[in-house]
Structure 1
Amino acid sequence: MKLLAATFPAFLSLFVAAAVTGRSPTFNDVTLDIVNADLAPDGFTRSTVSANGTFPGPLIRANKGDTLRVTMNNKLVITLSTDSGMRRSTTLDFDGIFFDTPNSYNEGTPFVTTCPVGPNASYTYELPLGEQTGTYWYHSQHADGLRGPLIIYDPDDPQADLYDVDDENTIWFISDWWHNKSLAMLESYQATQIIPVADGSLFNGAGRFNGGPEVSYSVSTVESGKRYRMRLINASARSDFTVSIDNHTMTVIAADGVATNPHVVNTIDLLAGQRYDVIVTGDQPVGNYWINTVLGGGTPRRNPNLNITLGRGILHYEGAPDAEPTTPMTLGPDEADRILLNEWELSPLVPIPAPPADIELSFFTSMTPNATSPSGFNTEWNINNISYVSPLVPTLVKIIDGANSEDDFGTKENTFVLPANKVIQITFPPSDEDELHPFHLHGNNFWVIKSNGSDIVNEVNPIRRDVSGAGAGGTTLRFTTDRPGPWFFHCHIFWHMNAGLASVMAAGPDETRAQVKPDAEWDDLCDAYNALPAELQ
């Protein structure tokens, strides 16, 4: 029987000293060095783009009301031929953080709110967290490894009586993993229409692949009788995961940072970019139990490295042997015993009825080849027959310089100019498309009026979140434009987004010009980026 190694990944926790000493924190100063590092979380060594040389990247912790200041130092190797399949310039995306006005220029979406930061340069992102709490993550070039958790704790959590433990050891950072580099895979996808399949998956930075070494699985340790707030993060470039724990239930208490009424399940489908907070109770006999994280979105036929049975962690009770479970590796509960989390069954702890829509948009998604490309095939994903292409000048720069209508943006920018302080409804009608796209809205939550898997329309107490699936069953989302600025709205599958499945919600151009005041550091980014040779961009 294989003995286990460390019980948790090397999460270096980055947290302001004031919070440790008990003084009310105001600013959290965090430094992330973005470097090339040779890592082997599943036993296969590859060069990565990483934060501080680890995977996952360091845990960023904050308290409700803090302001995070995250300094990113781009130390990616400038001349390294073996890393030619990865970009040298980068930004950071803090998934789910609102970036309230006037700070939206710090939001980090390349060519929407900013230009990328080149090698040997730095940028400090300021994130006023306001009333936000919950489970988030940061990433960039995440198919190449730059991903990490961001947790905002609430010292006065109204759900605190539901759990006993909530710390860095209760984060479940789940992700797909790729042995090849992102640019080469993207070029192959666009040329062939064959979407890349992951080589495997990682649970808290550890995993295995077919034929690879028996890397020790990551262990989550619990004590009998105690209740643990596990924070599930799907940090994948493509894959969804079906999560379960042998012989245990999970009580969902939050979705994408929004507290929910407790809802008991034993199986969760976790789409790329989604997060759930769940209560797991140590109520079973002392032992070791498999945490099943079954990867969706690929088959061994497309990648023989992939074995979805190997994606997992271990729930280890104190007092049990330091050993793997003796039970078989399954894909979770049998169908008859499965209690599946259905998004439409969740309700927010603090209900906010969805106001009536002022503007209604219909989004039709489709994939088409472009026969004019040299290869005869160029995979394009479309929203309303438009495949998004990043502009050379960021959307926010254009708005600050006077862009005021959709005619001021190129067709390929797929930018919707929306008046401020209105309610926008986006409907993905039912279709014949055989895809489920996890659509993510930057800088905002939306009400999920209708989930993809249900015909229920809920305007009274719908769940609010920032990632929801749009597919054949149809989805209706509603949000407000009370945060001026351009906000990226896109499929969270890396390959689909880069093939054009994206748009920009430009909320209140006049209000953006009046309220969003970038500093000199931001002003210099585009000039510096544009001066770089192509191989460093």
Structure 2
Amino acid sequence: MRVQIFAALVAQAALSPCLALIAPSKSEVSTPAALCNTPSNRACWISGFDINTDWETSVPNTGVTRTYTFTLSEVDKYVGPDGQVKEKAMLINSQTQVLTGWIVLDWGDRINITVVNDLRANGTSFHWHGIRQLNNNINDGVNGVTECPIPPNGGTKIYSFLATQYGSSWYHSHYALQIANGLTGSILINGPASLPYDIDLGVLPISDWYYGSADNIFARVNDPAKPFIPGVPGSPPPSDNILFNGTNINPTGPGGSYARILLTPGKRHRLRLINPSVDNTFTVSIVGHSMTVIANDFVPVDAFTTSHLYLSVGQRYDVTIDASQPVDNYWINVTFSGTGACGSSKNPHPAAILSYAGAGSTNPTNTGRPPPESLCADQTDFVPIVTRAVPKELFTAAPSDSLAVTLDVDSKSSNVFWKVNGSSMEVIWEKPTLEFIAQNNNSYPANENTITIPDNSNYSIWLVENGSPIPHPMHLHGHDFMILGRSVAPTNPLSPSATPVVFEIATDASSLEFDNPPRRDATVLPSFGWLVIAFQNDNPGAWLFHCHIAWHLSQGLSVQFLEQVNKVPQVMDLNEIEPNCDAWRSYAPANPFGGLDSGLRRI
């Protein structure tokens, strides 16, 4: 039945590029006036806005507000989509993971989302991954930073923001371990594209899935005496399965079904690949087909064709696929690095099916050839269509603009903690960073890892260094960052001979790219390596920069960039955070919510 529903939605999408595939709760579904986006000219959108428009400076105003309600609930012994029992699941509107449906918007729409927390004991907050939230830090959804947790047993919060970007993304609880229990979904924002296509297939989330509860898994990740990879404290577990569009077969026995993506012969299709995983990163390929990349994250790029794509946690690729092969069924394959350093699964052959109309329902027979083994590092051949340059003279690589990621074991608790510049980030749930700003109090606790960016700074350039064999998918809130350069990922970072790469740079910074570097909101910090990023300081607020492996985020691998702090009270009403903080402060003292299951460690 799920396949039939998906196919029906695909057929509807072919009729209108702006049709909401999962209808908003508000009855009207409108599209921008004077729409010029057609199958033969996707670069155009509406009058005055096209693929060359810089959405950081100019955004259409549709006048449309779409509303959703997310009611959270909790189920023990949940029978998952592959037929296996999950110890604990957390659901959105009685569904889990990507089955919750898609938020669908047009570029320039406003959205209001009411989150109703009917979990039993967990507070929560919701983050809208990759959304810029210009002058809107209070809706970024980070517990202990931009808000207090939404209390359980009926607590509510309304998130409101403008779709300033277009493309593909996802939403998730920012209590990172709740992602492992199911609190995620997809975002599709219609807008222009750099290539023509006939049919928009919508989103294909590919995510890891764990049968155990996140709390129990995390307890072992946190135990240096029993790591999942011998000799590597803090190493993550293999997932029990990989879900495509919320489903897959049971890899060890009967149960579940493959997801199917339906192609129309002779047509060009757009597909949006999303990795909303807890930990797993992987390479995606399609037997007998290439993919043409037109966007990464929310950044339109010059189109290029490839046989495979590496997706780290939080990353997205919009691709086109030509249905030019014989009518048949073809495997969509996911493969992992053989080292296990950047994720692994107990499912040895995670797959979905690319099915041509008229091919029938049989499984494919050609398994294809696996792509070259991933080195746990991003591809670097992305050229953004809208050019942005970084002043080269700003780069110094001085200690004041570097971030060192290290692993440590607390001698008192014997727990594993990740540190940035020697500090493992902890936050005060009852007093988020924005409350400090509201009270004009700049005495932030040291363990909150706050970095205040000077008001006269136009760009920030940061050298990030990794002293561990585990690569980290790093995500920045409130911005796209520019990737000026990175070290080459080691072939096998878990080898005893693997050593850290020393960062060296010529005085003219010749090894870095400043003219039009790749941009995105999530990228990989290589094993034993370095990464140089830059971002423009034009968005007032407290913006989190963190590893998107859920276990590592809960172990403190984060910093906060405090940006244009004096402007924060001028561009947003900080009083809006108080009702929810009052509700949480009324709940929390009598209901201690323990340990490290916070998404951001709690003081």
* TM class by smaller structure: 0.7 to 0.9
2:380 partner SS? helix
- Mean CA deviation greater in 465-474 or 291-300: 291-300
Given residue 294 of structure 2, which amino acid in structure 1 is its aligned partner?
I
Matching residue of 1:320:
359
Find the residue that maps to 1:448 and give its secondary structure.
Answer: strand
1:370 lines up with 2:370 in the alignment: no
Distance 1:342 1:137, change over 3 A: closer
Give the alignment of 1:503-514 within 5 angstroms: 503-514=559-570
Per-residue deviation at 1:25? 4.5
* C-alpha distance in 1 between matches for 2:338 and 2:428: 30
SS at match of 1:18: coil
Given that residues 224 and 282 in structure 1 are in contact (C-alpha distance below 8 angstroms), is that contact kept between their aligned partners in structure 2? yes
Supply the distance in 2 between the matched residues of 1:325 and 1:94 (Cα, whole angstroms).
36
Indicate the larger mover: 211-220 or 21-30. 21-30
SS at match of 1:184: helix
Partner Cα distance (1:291, 1:190) in 2: 34
Asked if 1 retains the 8 angstrom alpha-carbon contact of 2:293 and 2:318, the reply is yes
Mark the CA change 1:308 to 1:398 in structure 2 (over 3 Å): closer, same or farther: farther
- Residue 305 of structure 2 aligns to a residue whose secondary structure is strand
**1:5-37 Cα distance to aligned partner (Å, 9 max, x none):** 647499971435433477754211111111224
Q: For structure 2, list consecutive stretches of 5 or more residues without a partner in the other structure.
A: 10-20, 34-61, 228-235, 490-509, 595-603
Over 3 Å counting, the alpha-carbon distance change for 1:474 and 1:201 in structure 2 is same
The answer for the alignment partner of 1:348 in structure 2 is 384
Letter in 1 for 2:346: L
Q: 2:435 aligns with which of 389, 394, 397?
A: 397
Matched, 1:133 2:174: no
Letter paired with 1:124: I
2:196 aligned residue: 162
1:422 maps to 2:458: yes
**Alignment-mate amino acid for residue 180 of structure 1:** G
The whole-number CA distance in structure 1 between the counterparts of 2:395 and 2:568 is: 20
Determine the structure 2 residue equivalent to 1:44.
Answer: 84
Structure 1 position 379, deviation (Å): 0.1
State yes or no: 1:142 paired with 2:174.
no
Q: Match for 1:385 among 422, 440, 447?
A: 422
The change in CA–CA distance for 1:34 and 1:298 in structure 2 (over 3 A counts) is: farther
* Distance change in 2, residues 1:162/1:217 (3 Å): same
**Equivalents in 2 of 1:64, 1:5: separation in Å?**
28
User: Which of 524, 533, 538 does residue 482 from structure 1 map onto?
Assistant: 538
Most deviating of 40-49 and 60-69: 40-49
SS of the aligned residue for 1:174 comes to strand
Match of 2:518 in 1: 463
Determine which of 117, 122, 128 is the counterpart of 1:74: 117
Q: Is the contact between residue 491 and residue 501 of structure 1 (CA under 8 Å) also seen in structure 2?
A: yes
Counterpart in 2 of 1:178?
A: 210
Residue 107 of structure 1 corresponds to 140
More displaced 10-residue stretch of structure 1: 202-211 or 280-289: 202-211
Letter of the 2:515 partner, please give it. Answer: V
**1:26 is aligned with what amino acid?**
V
Aligned equivalents of 1:446 and 1:69: distance in 2? Answer: 26
The counterpart of 1:65, out of the listed 108, 132, 149, is 108
Match among 447, 460, 465 for residue 412 of structure 1 = 447
TM-score (norm: length of structure 2): 0.78
- CA distance in 2 between counterparts of 1:435 and 1:341 reads 11
C-alpha distance in structure 1 between counterparts of 2:372 and 2:217, whole Å = 35
Q: Deviations over 1:281-332 (max 9, x none)?
A: 11111100000122559869x99x81231x111000011021111223x672
Query: Mapping of 1:231-250 within 5 angstroms?
Result: 231-250=272-291
Question: How does 1:8-27 map onto structure 2 within 5 Å?
Answer: 8=6, 13-15=22-24, 16-20=26-30, 24-27=62-65
Q: May I ask how many residue pairs the two structures share in their alignment? A: 505
- What stretches of structure 1 of length at least 5 have no aligned partner? 79-86
**Take 1:10 and 1:501, find their aligned partners in 2: how far apart are those partners?**
42
Q: Which residue of 1 aligns with 2:549?
A: 493
* Gap change, CA 1:425 and 1:180, over 3 Å in 2: same
CA shift digits 1:77-128 (9 cap, x unpaired): x3xxxxxxxx521111100011111x21111011010011112121100012
Task: Provide the C-alpha distance between the structure 2 equivalents of 1:334 and 1:295, rounded to a whole number of angstroms.
Answer: 10
* Closer/same/farther in 2, CA of residues 151 and 510 from structure 1, 3 Å limit: same
Q: CA deviation at 1:258?
A: 0.5
**Structure 2 counterpart of 1:189, from 221, 229, 233:** 221
Cα displacement string for residues 124-151 of structure 1 (whole angstroms, at most 9, x for unaligned residues) = 0001223x11111101121100110011
Cross-structure match for 1:270: 311
- Cα distance in 1 for partners of 2:155, 2:385 equals 43
* CA distance 1:39–1:453, shift in 2 (3 Å): farther
Task: Output the aligned Cα RMSD.
Answer: 2.8
| Cα deviation 1:51-72 (Å, max 9, x = unaligned) | 1122312200011111111111
The 8 Å contact of residues 9 and 218 in structure 1, kept in 2 or not, is answered as no
Q: TM-score, normalised by structure 1?
A: 0.87
Larger deviation: 227-236 or 465-474? 465-474
| 8 Å CA contact 1:173, 1:234 repeated in 2 | yes
User: Could you say if the C-alpha distance between residues 354 and 21 of structure 1 is closer, same or farther in structure 2, counting changes exceeding 3 Å?
Assistant: closer
Contact kept, 8 Å, 1:352 with 1:460, in 2: the verdict is yes
Task: Tell me how far apart the structure 1 counterparts of residues 114 and 134 of structure 2 sit (CA, whole Å).
Answer: 19
Distance 2:7 2:240 in 1: 20
1:84 match = none
% identity of equivalent residues:
30
Do 1:25 and 1:66's aligned partners in 2 also have CA atoms closer than 8 Å?
yes
Kindly tell me: are residues 183 and 451 of structure 1, through their superposed partners in 2, closer, same or farther at Cα, counting changes over 3 Å? same
Work out whether residues 123 and 150 of structure 2, in 8 Å CA contact, stay in contact via their aligned partners in 1: yes
**C-alpha contact 1:201 1:208 (8 A) present in aligned 2:** no
Structure 2 counterpart of 1:82: none
